Structures are given as C-alpha cells and as structure tokens.
C-alpha cells in the first residue's frame, strides 16, 4: 500500500480564478485538490485529447471537471488498498438552487458505498 496524505492545503490564485470562466475555476480547484490527495497528472500536454479527468492538463476543461475513473482507482489503491469498484456520481440540488456533486464507490454486490 502507498503512503497516505493526512493533511493538505490548496491555495487558489484569486486573480486567475476571478478572471476565468466557471469551467476553468472548477477544473483548477479539482486539479489542485487532486494533487493534495497525492494524485499525479494523467497528461501534461494541454493540446492532447481530453482524458475526462481533472488531473489532465487542458485548455478546454469542459470534459475534465471531475476526477475520472483512473484518478479514483489510484485513490482507492492508495487509501483502501484495492483497485476495483464502480464509480458513483451523486448530484443533489440544494434548497438555494446550487448543486452539490459527490463521488463515491460501490465496492461490493451489497452496494456498500465508500
């Protein structure tokens, strides 16, 4: 099993974030928080085809806004010691009209989430 991160701080550049569109802000925050959990880049060439995960460099983050399966498998491997399971995206509309998205895993047939 790999080394676990027990604490991390992600600082965002307010000048950049205030001058970027929503998708770029969301991508950047997901990307930096992913590094805080110990995730590496999945691709460092922003001109390659998007890989569908926020650890992939891109100039068009529209399809790279969330961690992808490869990122989640790495987290499961490091933090849970296993690399199998099915990703589950839960989207909840809050009372104030905002949306919360969470990612979990179904790890067995009893649909126990982690």
Q: Mean per-residue pLDDT for 32-39?
A: 90
- Name 14's Cβ contacts closer than 8 Å, sequence gap at least 6: none
* 109, two tokens: 């047939």
The structure's pTM equals 0.67
The Cα 7–Cα 23 span in angstroms is 26
Q: Mean per-residue pLDDT for 47-54?
A: 95
Domain extent listing, the chain: 14-83
Cβ–Cβ under 8 Å, residues 34 and 44: no
What is the pLDDT, as a whole number, of residue 109?
47
Query: Residue 58 pLDDT > 90, yes or no?
Result: yes
Average pLDDT, the chain: 80
Query: Residue 49 pLDDT > 50, yes or no?
Result: yes
Give the DSSP letter string of 68-85. -HHHHHHHHHHHHS----
Task: Dihedral sign for Cα 37, 32, 114, 68, please.
Answer: negative
């Amino acid at each position: 099993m790999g080394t676990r991160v027990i604490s991390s701080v992600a600082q965002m550049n307010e000048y950049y974030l205030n001058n970027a569109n929503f998708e770029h802000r969301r991508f950047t925050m997901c990307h930096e928080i992913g590094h805080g959990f110990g995730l590496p880049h999945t691709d460092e060439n922003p001109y390659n085809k998007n890989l569908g995960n926020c650890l992939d460099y891109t100039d068009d983050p529209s399809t790279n806004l969330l961690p992808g399966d490869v990122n989640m498998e790495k987290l499961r491997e490091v933090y849970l010691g296993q690399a199998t399971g099915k990703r589950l995206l839960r989207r909840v509309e809050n009372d104030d009209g905002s949306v919360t998205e969470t990612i979990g895993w179904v790890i067995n047939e009893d649909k126990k989430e982690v």
